[in-house]
Amino acid sequence: MRLFQEKADQATSLLGELDLDCWLTFARETGDRPDPGVELLLGSSLTWNAALIFGRAGERAAIVGRYDVENVRAGGVFGEIVGYDEDMRDALRSVLDRIGPRQIGLNYSLHDHTADGLTFGMYLLLRELLAGTPHAERLVSAGPLLSRLRARKTPTEVERIQAAIDVTEEIVGWLTPQIAVGLSEAALAERVHAELARRGLPTAWDLAYCPTLNSGPESPVGHGMPQETVRVEPGHLVHIDVGVRQADYCSDLQRMWYVRRPGEDGPPAEVRRAWATVVAAVEAGAAALRPGVRGWEVDAVARRVIVEAGYPEYKHAFGHGLGRACHDGGPLLGPRWPRYGDAPDGVIEAGHVYTLELDVPTPAGIVALEEDVLVTADGCRFLSRFQRELMLI
Protein backbone atom coordinates (compact mmCIF):
# COMPACT_ATOMS: atom_id res chain seq x y z
CA MET A 1 0.00 0.00 0.00
CA ARG A 2 3.04 2.26 -0.29
CA LEU A 3 1.63 3.87 -3.42
CA PHE A 4 -1.59 5.03 -1.78
CA GLN A 5 0.29 6.47 1.19
CA GLU A 6 2.55 8.37 -1.22
CA LYS A 7 -0.47 9.85 -2.99
CA ALA A 8 -2.22 10.67 0.29
CA ASP A 9 0.85 12.55 1.50
CA GLN A 10 0.91 14.45 -1.78
CA ALA A 11 -2.76 15.35 -1.37
CA THR A 12 -2.19 16.81 2.09
CA SER A 13 0.72 18.86 0.78
CA LEU A 14 -1.34 20.14 -2.15
CA LEU A 15 -4.11 21.40 0.14
CA GLY A 16 -1.62 23.80 1.70
CA GLU A 17 -0.06 24.68 -1.61
CA LEU A 18 -3.44 25.58 -3.15
CA ASP A 19 -4.85 27.21 0.01
CA LEU A 20 -7.72 24.72 0.07
CA ASP A 21 -9.01 23.67 3.52
CA CYS A 22 -10.69 20.44 2.58
CA TRP A 23 -10.87 17.90 -0.25
CA LEU A 24 -13.98 15.72 -0.39
CA THR A 25 -14.36 12.74 -2.72
CA PHE A 26 -18.06 11.83 -2.75
CA ALA A 27 -18.80 8.68 -4.72
CA ARG A 28 -20.75 5.42 -4.98
CA GLU A 29 -20.61 2.19 -6.98
CA THR A 30 -17.12 3.00 -8.13
CA GLY A 31 -16.75 -0.39 -9.76
CA ASP A 32 -19.16 0.91 -12.40
CA ARG A 33 -18.20 4.59 -12.33
CA PRO A 34 -14.56 4.98 -11.22
CA ASP A 35 -13.67 8.21 -9.46
CA PRO A 36 -10.13 9.63 -9.63
CA GLY A 37 -10.07 10.38 -5.92
CA VAL A 38 -10.93 6.79 -5.06
CA GLU A 39 -8.53 5.04 -7.43
CA LEU A 40 -5.60 7.20 -6.30
CA LEU A 41 -6.16 6.51 -2.62
CA LEU A 42 -7.82 3.16 -1.99
CA GLY A 43 -7.03 0.36 -4.38
CA SER A 44 -10.54 -1.00 -3.88
CA SER A 45 -14.00 -0.02 -5.01
CA LEU A 46 -16.79 1.52 -2.94
CA THR A 47 -20.39 0.36 -3.08
CA TRP A 48 -22.54 2.55 -0.85
CA ASN A 49 -22.36 6.33 -0.82
CA ALA A 50 -18.97 7.29 0.58
CA ALA A 51 -17.12 10.46 1.60
CA LEU A 52 -13.32 10.47 1.65
CA ILE A 53 -12.18 13.65 3.39
CA PHE A 54 -8.76 15.28 3.62
CA GLY A 55 -8.21 18.34 5.82
CA ARG A 56 -5.44 20.85 5.41
CA ALA A 57 -4.20 20.21 8.95
CA GLY A 58 -3.67 16.52 8.20
CA GLU A 59 -7.15 15.16 8.92
CA ARG A 60 -8.09 12.03 6.97
CA ALA A 61 -11.57 10.61 7.43
CA ALA A 62 -13.54 8.04 5.45
CA ILE A 63 -17.28 7.72 5.88
CA VAL A 64 -18.35 4.53 4.13
CA GLY A 65 -20.98 1.84 4.20
CA ARG A 66 -20.54 -0.88 6.82
CA TYR A 67 -19.42 -3.48 4.30
CA ASP A 68 -16.74 -1.24 2.80
CA VAL A 69 -15.02 -0.53 6.13
CA GLU A 70 -12.51 -3.37 6.07
CA ASN A 71 -11.32 -2.64 2.54
CA VAL A 72 -10.79 1.01 3.43
CA ARG A 73 -8.95 0.07 6.63
CA ALA A 74 -6.68 -2.29 4.68
CA GLY A 75 -5.63 0.61 2.46
CA GLY A 76 -3.89 2.22 5.40
CA VAL A 77 -4.59 5.81 4.34
CA PHE A 78 -7.42 6.92 6.63
CA GLY A 79 -6.94 7.21 10.37
CA GLU A 80 -10.64 7.80 11.00
CA ILE A 81 -13.07 5.37 9.38
CA VAL A 82 -16.77 5.67 10.12
CA GLY A 83 -19.09 2.92 8.96
CA TYR A 84 -22.81 3.58 8.64
CA ASP A 85 -25.95 1.58 7.95
CA GLU A 86 -28.93 3.85 7.30
CA ASP A 87 -27.68 7.40 6.80
CA MET A 88 -24.29 9.10 6.56
CA ARG A 89 -25.65 12.61 7.12
CA ASP A 90 -24.68 13.09 10.78
CA ALA A 91 -21.21 11.59 10.38
CA LEU A 92 -20.47 13.75 7.33
CA ARG A 93 -21.61 16.94 9.02
CA SER A 94 -19.67 16.11 12.16
CA VAL A 95 -16.36 15.64 10.34
CA LEU A 96 -16.81 18.84 8.36
CA ASP A 97 -17.78 20.76 11.48
CA ARG A 98 -14.53 19.67 13.14
CA ILE A 99 -12.44 20.72 10.14
CA GLY A 100 -14.37 23.98 9.71
CA PRO A 101 -13.37 24.53 6.06
CA ARG A 102 -13.79 27.83 4.28
CA GLN A 103 -13.93 25.87 1.01
CA ILE A 104 -14.60 22.21 0.24
CA GLY A 105 -13.04 20.94 -2.97
CA LEU A 106 -15.03 18.45 -5.04
CA ASN A 107 -13.96 16.23 -7.94
CA TYR A 108 -15.18 18.20 -10.94
CA SER A 109 -13.33 19.98 -13.71
CA LEU A 110 -14.19 21.66 -17.01
CA HIS A 111 -11.08 20.56 -18.89
CA ASP A 112 -9.37 17.64 -17.09
CA HIS A 113 -11.24 14.37 -17.47
CA THR A 114 -9.09 12.72 -14.79
CA ALA A 115 -10.35 15.31 -12.26
CA ASP A 116 -14.02 15.08 -13.22
CA GLY A 117 -15.35 12.12 -11.25
CA LEU A 118 -18.29 13.66 -9.39
CA THR A 119 -21.59 12.97 -11.10
CA PHE A 120 -24.29 15.62 -11.17
CA GLY A 121 -26.59 13.34 -9.22
CA MET A 122 -24.05 12.91 -6.44
CA TYR A 123 -23.48 16.68 -6.37
CA LEU A 124 -27.19 17.24 -5.84
CA LEU A 125 -27.29 14.56 -3.14
CA LEU A 126 -24.33 16.14 -1.34
CA ARG A 127 -26.06 19.51 -1.30
CA GLU A 128 -29.12 17.81 0.13
CA LEU A 129 -27.05 16.16 2.88
CA LEU A 130 -25.46 19.49 3.77
CA ALA A 131 -28.61 21.61 3.45
CA GLY A 132 -29.02 24.04 6.33
CA THR A 133 -25.29 24.07 7.13
CA PRO A 134 -22.71 26.64 5.99
CA HIS A 135 -20.85 23.79 4.24
CA ALA A 136 -23.45 23.65 1.47
CA GLU A 137 -22.33 27.05 0.20
CA ARG A 138 -18.61 26.30 0.37
CA LEU A 139 -18.39 23.73 -2.41
CA VAL A 140 -15.78 24.47 -5.08
CA SER A 141 -13.80 22.54 -7.68
CA ALA A 142 -10.85 20.45 -6.53
CA GLY A 143 -9.81 20.19 -10.18
CA PRO A 144 -6.44 21.92 -9.66
CA LEU A 145 -5.62 19.60 -6.76
CA LEU A 146 -6.58 16.44 -8.61
CA SER A 147 -4.80 17.53 -11.75
CA ARG A 148 -1.55 18.07 -9.88
CA LEU A 149 -2.02 14.94 -7.79
CA ARG A 150 -2.49 12.91 -10.95
CA ALA A 151 0.44 14.52 -12.77
CA ARG A 152 3.06 14.43 -10.00
CA LYS A 153 4.28 10.88 -10.16
CA THR A 154 5.70 9.31 -7.04
CA PRO A 155 8.72 6.97 -7.18
CA THR A 156 6.40 3.96 -7.09
CA GLU A 157 4.37 5.31 -9.98
CA VAL A 158 7.47 5.93 -12.08
CA GLU A 159 8.64 2.36 -11.38
CA ARG A 160 5.31 0.98 -12.58
CA ILE A 161 5.22 3.12 -15.73
CA GLN A 162 8.78 2.08 -16.54
CA ALA A 163 7.86 -1.59 -16.14
CA ALA A 164 4.89 -1.16 -18.50
CA ILE A 165 7.13 0.55 -21.07
CA ASP A 166 9.75 -2.18 -20.80
CA VAL A 167 7.27 -4.97 -21.50
CA THR A 168 5.78 -3.01 -24.41
CA GLU A 169 9.20 -2.69 -25.99
CA GLU A 170 9.69 -6.44 -25.54
CA ILE A 171 6.46 -7.02 -27.46
CA VAL A 172 7.56 -4.70 -30.27
CA GLY A 173 10.81 -6.64 -30.50
CA TRP A 174 8.87 -9.92 -30.53
CA LEU A 175 6.65 -8.64 -33.35
CA THR A 176 9.41 -7.34 -35.63
CA PRO A 177 10.50 -10.65 -37.20
CA GLN A 178 6.86 -11.59 -37.80
CA ILE A 179 6.07 -8.63 -40.07
CA ALA A 180 5.98 -10.02 -43.60
CA VAL A 181 4.62 -9.12 -47.02
CA GLY A 182 1.04 -10.32 -47.43
CA LEU A 183 0.00 -10.17 -43.78
CA SER A 184 -2.97 -7.92 -43.05
CA GLU A 185 -3.06 -5.24 -40.38
CA ALA A 186 -5.75 -7.27 -38.62
CA ALA A 187 -3.59 -10.41 -38.63
CA LEU A 188 -0.69 -8.55 -37.06
CA ALA A 189 -3.00 -7.09 -34.42
CA GLU A 190 -4.33 -10.57 -33.63
CA ARG A 191 -0.78 -11.74 -33.01
CA VAL A 192 -0.19 -8.87 -30.60
CA HIS A 193 -3.46 -9.65 -28.81
CA ALA A 194 -2.44 -13.29 -28.45
CA GLU A 195 0.90 -12.31 -26.96
CA LEU A 196 -0.76 -9.88 -24.54
CA ALA A 197 -3.17 -12.61 -23.48
CA ARG A 198 -0.28 -15.03 -22.97
CA ARG A 199 1.37 -12.48 -20.68
CA GLY A 200 -1.93 -11.68 -18.90
CA LEU A 201 -1.74 -8.02 -19.87
CA PRO A 202 -4.72 -5.79 -20.72
CA THR A 203 -4.32 -3.05 -23.29
CA ALA A 204 -3.89 0.60 -22.31
CA TRP A 205 -6.96 1.57 -24.34
CA ASP A 206 -9.78 -0.20 -26.22
CA LEU A 207 -8.74 -3.67 -27.36
CA ALA A 208 -10.38 -3.14 -30.77
CA TYR A 209 -7.74 -0.59 -31.76
CA CYS A 210 -4.88 -1.33 -29.39
CA PRO A 211 -2.67 -1.85 -31.17
CA THR A 212 -3.45 0.58 -33.93
CA LEU A 213 -1.64 -0.72 -37.01
CA ASN A 214 -1.05 1.02 -40.34
CA SER A 215 0.61 -0.32 -43.46
CA GLY A 216 1.10 1.93 -46.45
CA PRO A 217 -0.70 5.01 -47.75
CA GLU A 218 -4.22 3.52 -47.96
CA SER A 219 -4.47 2.73 -44.24
CA PRO A 220 -6.79 5.08 -42.32
CA VAL A 221 -4.81 7.13 -39.78
CA GLY A 222 -6.08 7.70 -36.26
CA HIS A 223 -7.77 5.62 -33.60
CA GLY A 224 -9.12 3.10 -36.08
CA MET A 225 -9.23 -0.66 -36.02
CA PRO A 226 -6.57 -2.57 -37.99
CA GLN A 227 -7.98 -3.54 -41.41
CA GLU A 228 -8.21 -7.03 -42.86
CA THR A 229 -8.20 -5.54 -46.36
CA VAL A 230 -4.94 -3.59 -45.90
CA ARG A 231 -1.89 -5.81 -46.25
CA VAL A 232 1.83 -5.30 -45.86
CA GLU A 233 3.49 -4.67 -49.22
CA PRO A 234 7.01 -3.81 -50.37
CA GLY A 235 7.55 -0.06 -50.16
CA HIS A 236 5.17 0.32 -47.22
CA LEU A 237 5.81 2.03 -43.95
CA VAL A 238 4.37 -0.10 -41.14
CA HIS A 239 3.33 1.75 -38.01
CA ILE A 240 2.14 0.52 -34.61
CA ASP A 241 0.63 2.46 -31.71
CA VAL A 242 0.48 0.17 -28.68
CA GLY A 243 0.31 0.33 -24.90
CA VAL A 244 -0.29 -2.04 -22.01
CA ARG A 245 -1.71 -1.65 -18.53
CA GLN A 246 0.41 -3.34 -15.89
CA ALA A 247 -0.09 -2.95 -12.12
CA ASP A 248 -2.65 -0.20 -12.92
CA TYR A 249 -0.16 1.92 -14.94
CA CYS A 250 0.11 2.40 -18.68
CA SER A 251 2.61 2.64 -21.50
CA ASP A 252 1.99 4.29 -24.87
CA LEU A 253 4.51 3.89 -27.70
CA GLN A 254 4.57 4.22 -31.49
CA ARG A 255 7.13 2.36 -33.56
CA MET A 256 7.94 2.18 -37.29
CA TRP A 257 9.28 -0.22 -39.90
CA TYR A 258 10.01 0.13 -43.61
CA VAL A 259 9.37 -2.86 -45.91
CA ARG A 260 12.10 -2.85 -48.55
CA ARG A 261 11.39 -3.38 -52.22
CA PRO A 262 13.59 -5.85 -54.10
CA GLY A 263 17.06 -4.37 -54.45
CA GLU A 264 16.56 -1.67 -51.79
CA ASP A 265 19.02 -1.33 -48.94
CA GLY A 266 16.75 1.10 -47.11
CA PRO A 267 13.88 3.53 -47.52
CA PRO A 268 13.75 6.09 -50.35
CA ALA A 269 14.92 9.65 -49.82
CA GLU A 270 11.44 11.11 -49.19
CA VAL A 271 10.83 8.60 -46.38
CA ARG A 272 14.28 9.22 -44.89
CA ARG A 273 13.64 12.97 -44.92
CA ALA A 274 10.24 12.58 -43.23
CA TRP A 275 11.69 10.26 -40.61
CA ALA A 276 14.59 12.61 -39.88
CA THR A 277 12.13 15.50 -39.47
CA VAL A 278 9.97 13.58 -37.00
CA VAL A 279 13.00 12.52 -34.97
CA ALA A 280 14.29 16.12 -34.96
CA ALA A 281 10.91 17.42 -33.79
CA VAL A 282 10.80 14.92 -30.91
CA GLU A 283 14.35 15.89 -29.95
CA ALA A 284 13.50 19.58 -30.05
CA GLY A 285 10.37 19.11 -27.96
CA ALA A 286 12.27 16.99 -25.43
CA ALA A 287 14.95 19.68 -25.17
CA ALA A 288 12.26 22.27 -24.40
CA LEU A 289 10.51 20.11 -21.79
CA ARG A 290 11.59 21.17 -18.31
CA PRO A 291 10.05 22.44 -15.08
CA GLY A 292 8.57 25.92 -15.24
CA VAL A 293 7.58 26.02 -18.91
CA ARG A 294 3.98 25.74 -20.04
CA GLY A 295 2.62 22.89 -22.10
CA TRP A 296 1.85 25.00 -25.18
CA GLU A 297 5.43 26.27 -25.27
CA VAL A 298 6.80 22.74 -25.62
CA ASP A 299 4.26 21.91 -28.32
CA ALA A 300 5.16 25.06 -30.24
CA VAL A 301 8.84 24.07 -30.42
CA ALA A 302 8.10 20.62 -31.88
CA ARG A 303 5.36 21.93 -34.17
CA ARG A 304 7.69 24.54 -35.63
CA VAL A 305 10.17 21.86 -36.74
CA ILE A 306 7.44 20.04 -38.69
CA VAL A 307 5.97 23.15 -40.33
CA GLU A 308 9.32 24.71 -41.24
CA ALA A 309 10.29 21.45 -42.95
CA GLY A 310 7.27 21.91 -45.23
CA TYR A 311 4.97 19.29 -43.75
CA PRO A 312 1.35 19.93 -42.73
CA GLU A 313 0.71 20.79 -39.09
CA TYR A 314 -0.36 17.72 -37.11
CA LYS A 315 -3.87 18.10 -35.70
CA HIS A 316 -3.32 16.93 -32.16
CA ALA A 317 -1.18 17.70 -29.12
CA PHE A 318 2.52 16.93 -29.13
CA GLY A 319 2.25 15.11 -25.82
CA HIS A 320 -0.08 14.05 -23.05
CA GLY A 321 0.32 12.85 -19.49
CA LEU A 322 0.87 9.13 -18.95
CA GLY A 323 0.11 7.17 -15.80
CA ARG A 324 -2.95 5.40 -14.46
CA ALA A 325 -4.60 6.35 -17.74
CA CYS A 326 -3.03 6.37 -21.16
CA HIS A 327 -4.21 9.99 -21.40
CA ASP A 328 -3.49 11.01 -17.84
CA GLY A 329 -4.15 14.31 -16.10
CA GLY A 330 -2.08 17.44 -15.70
CA PRO A 331 -0.81 19.96 -18.24
CA LEU A 332 -1.07 19.07 -21.91
CA LEU A 333 1.80 19.55 -24.34
CA GLY A 334 -0.60 20.96 -26.89
CA PRO A 335 -1.61 24.09 -28.78
CA ARG A 336 -3.99 26.65 -27.34
CA TRP A 337 -6.98 25.35 -29.26
CA PRO A 338 -10.45 25.79 -27.71
CA ARG A 339 -11.01 22.04 -27.54
CA TYR A 340 -8.10 21.69 -25.09
CA GLY A 341 -9.43 24.32 -22.67
CA ASP A 342 -6.79 25.50 -20.21
CA ALA A 343 -4.77 22.26 -20.24
CA PRO A 344 -1.96 23.68 -22.47
CA ASP A 345 -1.48 26.57 -20.04
CA GLY A 346 -0.46 24.25 -17.21
CA VAL A 347 3.07 24.55 -15.82
CA ILE A 348 5.39 21.57 -16.24
CA GLU A 349 6.85 20.12 -13.03
CA ALA A 350 9.51 17.58 -12.16
CA GLY A 351 7.86 14.19 -11.77
CA HIS A 352 5.48 14.57 -14.69
CA VAL A 353 5.48 11.75 -17.24
CA TYR A 354 4.59 12.52 -20.87
CA THR A 355 4.35 10.98 -24.26
CA LEU A 356 6.06 12.87 -27.09
CA GLU A 357 4.30 12.10 -30.37
CA LEU A 358 3.75 13.52 -33.84
CA ASP A 359 3.39 12.41 -37.43
CA VAL A 360 3.80 13.45 -41.05
CA PRO A 361 2.39 11.90 -44.24
CA THR A 362 4.47 10.33 -47.01
CA PRO A 363 3.61 8.41 -50.20
CA ALA A 364 4.69 5.22 -48.36
CA GLY A 365 2.33 5.83 -45.46
CA ILE A 366 2.36 7.75 -42.22
CA VAL A 367 5.63 8.46 -40.40
CA ALA A 368 4.86 8.65 -36.69
CA LEU A 369 6.80 8.26 -33.49
CA GLU A 370 5.87 8.28 -29.80
CA GLU A 371 8.26 8.18 -26.87
CA ASP A 372 7.67 8.27 -23.12
CA VAL A 373 9.67 10.64 -20.89
CA LEU A 374 10.00 11.68 -17.25
CA VAL A 375 10.45 15.37 -16.39
CA THR A 376 13.47 15.86 -14.13
CA ALA A 377 14.78 18.85 -12.19
CA ASP A 378 16.63 20.21 -15.21
CA GLY A 379 14.96 18.68 -18.27
CA CYS A 380 13.57 15.28 -19.16
CA ARG A 381 14.76 11.68 -19.29
CA PHE A 382 13.58 9.13 -21.82
CA LEU A 383 11.89 6.13 -20.21
CA SER A 384 11.52 4.45 -23.59
CA ARG A 385 14.38 3.60 -25.89
CA PHE A 386 14.21 6.45 -28.41
CA GLN A 387 13.75 4.97 -31.89
CA ARG A 388 16.14 7.05 -33.97
CA GLU A 389 16.32 4.68 -36.94
CA LEU A 390 13.58 3.03 -38.98
CA MET A 391 13.50 -0.73 -38.49
CA LEU A 392 13.81 -2.58 -41.81
CA ILE A 393 11.81 -5.55 -43.03
* CATH top-level class of 2-149: alpha beta
What is the pLDDT, as a whole number, of residue 365? 96
Percentage of the chain surpassing pLDDT 70? Answer: 100
In sequence order, what DSSP letters do the residues of 319-353 get, joined into one string?
EEE-SSSSSEEEEEES---GGGTTGGGPBP-TT-E
The structural architecture, per CATH, of the domain 152-392 is Alpha-Beta Complex (3.90)
- Per-residue confidence (pLDDT) for residue 163, from 0 to 100: 98
Evaluate if residue 1 carries a pLDDT over 80: no
What ranges do the domains of the chain cover? 2-149, 152-392
> What are the tens digits of pLDDT across the range 169-225?
999 999 999 999 999 999 999 999 999 999 999 999 999 989 999 999 998 887 778
The reply to whether 152-392 shares the fold of 2-149 is no
Distance of CA 178 to the CA centre of its chain: 30
Report in angstroms the alpha-carbon separations of 92 from 6, 49, 126, 329, 331.
25, 11, 10, 29, 33
- Please give the average per-residue pLDDT across 65-91, as a whole number: 94
